[in-house]
Structure 1
């Protein structure tokens, strides 16, 4: 038996919900045109996607990149969605338009936020929420503090994968519904594939937790172990479709620096218990453990959820607690588990537990919508006279939090005017609950308050206050003054402390090419941005995540391994870039010539013609006691993912 649904209403509602999210993002762009253009988006995501678009235009699958040795294995890096049909399609389409860097970043993020919004809407509608409540779920799931401050503006892989998690939840619940067709498992398979290939391991773990939770819930409700068979089959099929992505990651991480990361990394960026009032007032400022394991004052912007969800859930537990717990015990358990995971230290190759927050916000939105529906009575229009308890609860929570904030001195830099705006919104909500109680617009009050609370949050608190910005100009699309025929090693200090706009307001990167920015112009560099830093040159040269070579290693390479038979020559390095802040030069001087010197740095080229990409050597370090006959190399086909050449023995 099929479940009757108004598919056209759901379709139009989903598109409308997505457009509301797009409109919200356009307001943020109007306020700050660079809001989506920060940190990793600048040094990693966008230059790599420029190379991905170039690769597809050349007719090659972008598994590898010839423009970075550290970040050359794009498939293994995982975060670039190499095996995701959607990510690659979005990149190809967006790069067809003549957009600036910041506009490309905005287009990519907004596209995925639209997908996230549509998925959240369909998930809410399948749970029999009204159109207004479904849009409320969309706003919290798509525009919460963590998604806007990190996923959409810095760590694209997090957004690229999480955009499909509501879809995976929607597909999994359909797979568990015996009233649907025998092919219902296909939805689950498709969205499991899209989540896994989206490019964020944390979201894959979220998916695993979600699937385990849904399976346990189904088994407890049906007492039938066969009820989860379609979900299991769909999940296995989705994992099979995404196998190239996770197999490449598993192979790549073996022996990497990420596998050997310091134990202190597991304690960074956890949600501190003292920060929890930030769910009510995001300006609440306490100490969080940052990237360098330092306790630093930080506003709770990541906890921003638009005022309504927490207020509605608290009001529901106060007003109809037993009924709400009986109806939603499984969702409340999941909510508590996810919040606990966000507060605990990580383990293994994972770090920064606050990355669980987008999943928490999604579950919170579902729970809050259920509480609102229960408090106001059942009905798709929510037009019956209802309780103003959520609104009055919101007002009381803001007053109590503001008083506590003033007593404990946790107001930080952004309490004014945000606290006053939230008080005004809560008062307006109370008024509208009474004034519109018999109106058809009554049900639209929660999503409206949520929209304006989130907007006020990001207009008052910079959504990127935890990460650096760099002034990277469109000139980086040009290789000049570097030579695309040469392989460069760039020696530069920590980009985060040296090149951020607070330190250098002028355009940077034309010489040093920090991170993976060499990919924009198709320049061949040893350096590259890699959170994994795989075994090989990344570990050998002790590179950091942002592509910097360890200073002691840089000094050793330039002073002792830059000669005619040194390690750099064996690797084919015939270009050296040295940032102005570093006072060294490659030795011996007779082997190198200074070709460019600017305020940013110096460029040295090895004397003579650039090295050939394919060369014959007579000795290698791994076999020190052997000598090899020099070979003749001809008909070299140096394509993107492989190199072919005719090799003959030289007599």
Structure 2
């Protein structure tokens, strides 16, 4: 058994298995733990939708059936250029239970994060047992588990690659790993689609340049950053029609941790006092700033001279930790980076490296009374800060402090015996015990929206659906919010988007949470001659929540298909024209003879006469139109719908529409140049360098 544990692959393999098992604990306690807030409204349903399109042979840069949520290239967060993400989306199509699918996918990324943290700590010379303990604690830190895994899936799917970026980059700079691997892991991080991944890469390479002071660091970093245009130029291109354009710098206090929250990063029950999403609340109800149970209690027992002796080789760890500490205390909105709490995971990663290195040197047990007194004082201070933040759960705070005291005592006993395996066991078991306690006190993240109904993958409606409903009104389970309709493959006007299409939102008074009570009237008000938005968007079914609009009167051409105390469902009397195309209106002097689509991004319409063609497409930047080979302009019609005015001197021909995400060709070229640079940097044979790890 001893010889088996000494094999290099065994500890990381055990780590992966343990993390996977422990990650299922929150799911076992609360079936919807991994399907809260944005995961229910945006991510999981669209994962299934993308997976279905991939299976049909289509690469979904644009999903017309999701309307303003359908610019998937511009949205970026779905990571369409990331092969791991795409494989997971195919996997999700095998599940009818999206809560279970989310748990499986997110468990995978928690394992990737833990293994990356282990390898990173080993690269900095940490012992196996210390790297194991820290790697196990990292994915179960408060923000990563309750926010990134629980709701903001794109954040987890991006941050999981950050330790790998750091590990591969440091080894590539030191010539013990081919730079192509630094490019691969950097590309996986960037293509996951969250801009915080780019921020992490910048912080890491700045730290590595400070550590190595070599041009090679800059060149490897440039090879990785060359992937950024591929992912984010479409996002920048869509900004002109969306709600997140321009640079913003202000502070609302939203999700902004304070110094006191960071000092309590070992308290299992600490509820940070900060502005949250519910305006009637003043604190988080999950331990979002919790890092690891041992982070504060072991401080007096560490050999701090290690940092002085190894300061040169730990420079990047100091830089990354310092950069993220500054970002954690930054204004609430800094360009596209909002809510400073999101930066705390980067701080945790930097601290994880430093803790692993310090733990590897062993714990000092001399001056026993003095160290016990300091630990006791630190626990009392953490308890006081937690009670001051949320006195109502003072019992939880006291129990948490006593738990930390007991675990610390066990750790010191193991240290006095000089048994590193026992120390690793206590550190790991303590993390598991604290996780059990935390998920008992906080089974779900109640500080984010819990009101989204769980999207299922079966639905009786056919055709494009318009829904008039509000998630805040009962009953909710009869309705679909965000991308709920996408989970069932049903086209819907009410999809989720993080970038928005302002003209569309204003015209319909719609968001992923609700339609205003006036939404029904707006849907059926003529906006182009006698045609309504319902006509121009080719809606066939309208679902109305009676709690919002009690007795909607069917408009001409519509009838009530079903009605009960909760909802009224309206259906169009006649089928729409060109069911396999998107043209929705044409001028009286114009005849649309044929409409053919070659995928979502290309369409051809044969016509006779002159006038205007309107399409059931939003006019996202990137469209181009040609008539008989001659380029013609496109413009916004009602609600931002794509409209083409035919030239007066053309009376017959074919209109060809095509859409390409803004910057896509340039992005592809940049990414290819990046991998070429990485290959060129690796043409010299790497030398062998000792990792410096202790056993």
**Aligned residue number for residue 223 of structure 1:** none
CA–CA distance in structure 1, aligned partners of residues 227 and 312 of structure 2: 38
CA–CA distance in structure 2, aligned partners of residues 617 and 460 of structure 1: 56
Preserved contact between residue 305 and residue 454 of structure 1 (Cα < 8 Å): no
Q: Which secondary structure state, in structure 2, belongs to the residue aligned with residue 88 of structure 1?
A: helix
The answer as to 2:316 corresponding to 1:352 is no
**Aligned residue number for residue 131 of structure 1:** 128
Equivalent of residue 354 in structure 2, options 360, 363, 367: 367
Equivalent of residue 413 in structure 2, options 426, 429, 434: 434
**Aligned residue number for residue 53 of structure 1:** 51
Q: Once superposed, what is the RMSD of the aligned Cα atoms?
A: 3.4
Preserved contact between residue 558 and residue 585 of structure 1 (Cα < 8 Å): no
Tell me the CA shift for residue 603 of structure 1: 1.9
* Cα distance change on mapping 1:551 and 1:262 into 2, 3 Å: farther
Preserved contact between residue 270 and residue 397 of structure 2 (Cα < 8 Å): no
**Greater relative CO, 1 or 2 (CA 8 Å, sep 6+):** 2
CA–CA distance in structure 1, aligned partners of residues 286 and 488 of structure 2: 38
Preserved contact between residue 124 and residue 357 of structure 2 (Cα < 8 Å): no
Aligned positions of 1:226-245 closer than 5 A: 227-229=214-216, 231-241=217-227, 243-245=229-231
CA–CA distance in structure 2, aligned partners of residues 397 and 616 of structure 1: 68
Q: Deviations over 1:112-154 (max 9, x none)?
A: 1111111111111111211111112212321110111111110
Tell me the CA shift for residue 536 of structure 1: 5.0
**Aligned residue number for residue 10 of structure 2:** 12
- Which deviates the most, 581-590 or 603-612? 581-590
Preserved contact between residue 118 and residue 131 of structure 2 (Cα < 8 Å): yes
Equivalent of residue 579 in structure 1, options 531, 542, 545: 545
Q: Deviations over 1:380-429 (max 9, x none)?
A: xxxx99989877654432223324555x4x34444434532441342243
Q: Which secondary structure state, in structure 2, belongs to the residue aligned with residue 215 of structure 1?
A: helix
Q: Which secondary structure state, in structure 2, belongs to the residue aligned with residue 430 of structure 1?
A: helix
Tell me the CA shift for residue 314 of structure 1: 5.8
CA–CA distance in structure 1, aligned partners of residues 247 and 524 of structure 2: 27
Preserved contact between residue 383 and residue 401 of structure 2 (Cα < 8 Å): no
Equivalent of residue 576 in structure 2, options 580, 596, 610: 610
Greater per-residue helix proportion: 1
CA–CA distance in structure 1, aligned partners of residues 501 and 221 of structure 2: 29
CA–CA distance in structure 2, aligned partners of residues 571 and 34 of structure 1: 34
* Cα distance change on mapping 1:127 and 1:327 into 2, 3 Å: closer
CA–CA distance in structure 1, aligned partners of residues 468 and 354 of structure 2: 51
Aligned positions of 1:291-440 closer than 5 A: 291=277, 296-299=282-285, 301-313=287-299, 315-316=301-302, 328=314, 331-345=317-331, 346-374=333-361, 376=363, 393-403=374-384, 405-406=386-387, 408=388, 410-417=389-396, 419-434=398-413, 437-440=417-420
Equivalent of residue 438 in structure 2, options 457, 461, 465: 457
* Cα distance change on mapping 1:127 and 1:326 into 2, 3 Å: closer
Aligned positions of 1:182-581 closer than 5 A: 184-219=178-213, 227-229=214-216, 231-241=217-227, 243-259=229-245, 267-291=253-277, 296-299=282-285, 301-313=287-299, 315-316=301-302, 328=314, 331-345=317-331, 346-374=333-361, 376=363, 393-403=374-384, 405-406=386-387, 408=388, 410-417=389-396, 419-434=398-413, 437-444=417-424, 445-470=426-451, 472=453, 476-480=456-460, 482-483=461-462, 485=463, 487-493=464-470, 495=471, 497-498=472-473, 508-510=476-478, 512-535=479-502, 537-538=504-505, 540-544=507-511, 546=512, 548-552=514-518, 555-559=521-525, 561=527, 564-581=530-547
Preserved contact between residue 120 and residue 353 of structure 2 (Cα < 8 Å): no
Q: For structure 2, list consecutive stretches of 5 or more residues without a partner in the other structure.
A: 610-650, 653-695
CA–CA distance in structure 2, aligned partners of residues 549 and 208 of structure 1: 40
Preserved contact between residue 593 and residue 605 of structure 2 (Cα < 8 Å): no
Preserved contact between residue 302 and residue 359 of structure 2 (Cα < 8 Å): yes
Q: Which secondary structure state, in structure 1, belongs to the residue aligned with residue 113 of structure 2?
A: helix
* Cα distance change on mapping 1:403 and 1:584 into 2, 3 Å: closer
Preserved contact between residue 112 and residue 161 of structure 2 (Cα < 8 Å): yes
* Cα distance change on mapping 1:577 and 1:167 into 2, 3 Å: same
CA–CA distance in structure 2, aligned partners of residues 323 and 107 of structure 1: 43
Preserved contact between residue 255 and residue 339 of structure 2 (Cα < 8 Å): yes
The answer as to 2:161 corresponding to 1:164 is yes
Q: Deviations over 1:434-482 (max 9, x none)?
A: 25623353431333333323432232233412123347467x42231x2
Preserved contact between residue 141 and residue 361 of structure 1 (Cα < 8 Å): yes
CA–CA distance in structure 2, aligned partners of residues 398 and 294 of structure 1: 31
- Which deviates the most, 387-396 or 166-175? 387-396
**Aligned residue number for residue 146 of structure 2:** 149
Tell me the CA shift for residue 57 of structure 1: 1.1
The answer as to 2:103 corresponding to 1:115 is no
Preserved contact between residue 48 and residue 516 of structure 1 (Cα < 8 Å): yes
Tell me the CA shift for residue 198 of structure 1: 0.9
Preserved contact between residue 559 and residue 588 of structure 1 (Cα < 8 Å): no
* Cα distance change on mapping 1:208 and 1:543 into 2, 3 Å: farther
CA–CA distance in structure 2, aligned partners of residues 573 and 263 of structure 1: 40
CA–CA distance in structure 2, aligned partners of residues 563 and 7 of structure 1: 77
CA–CA distance in structure 1, aligned partners of residues 557 and 273 of structure 2: 52
CA–CA distance in structure 1, aligned partners of residues 248 and 545 of structure 2: 28
CA–CA distance in structure 2, aligned partners of residues 8 and 438 of structure 1: 18
CA–CA distance in structure 2, aligned partners of residues 477 and 386 of structure 1: 62
- Which deviates the most, 291-300 or 267-276? 291-300
Preserved contact between residue 161 and residue 196 of structure 1 (Cα < 8 Å): yes
CA–CA distance in structure 2, aligned partners of residues 282 and 362 of structure 1: 18
Q: Which secondary structure state, in structure 2, belongs to the residue aligned with residue 548 of structure 1?
A: coil
Preserved contact between residue 559 and residue 572 of structure 2 (Cα < 8 Å): yes
Aligned residue pairs total 603
Aligned positions of 1:49-128 closer than 5 A: 49-96=47-94, 98-128=95-125
**Aligned residue number for residue 624 of structure 1:** none
- Which deviates the most, 270-279 or 310-319? 310-319
Q: Deviations over 1:62-117 (max 9, x none)?
A: 22223210111112111111111011112213433x45121101001001111111
Preserved contact between residue 286 and residue 447 of structure 2 (Cα < 8 Å): no
**Aligned residue number for residue 29 of structure 2:** 31
Preserved contact between residue 253 and residue 275 of structure 2 (Cα < 8 Å): yes
* Cα distance change on mapping 1:320 and 1:123 into 2, 3 Å: closer
Q: For structure 1, list consecutive stretches of 5 or more residues without a partner in the other structure.
A: 1-5, 220-226, 378-383, 620-626
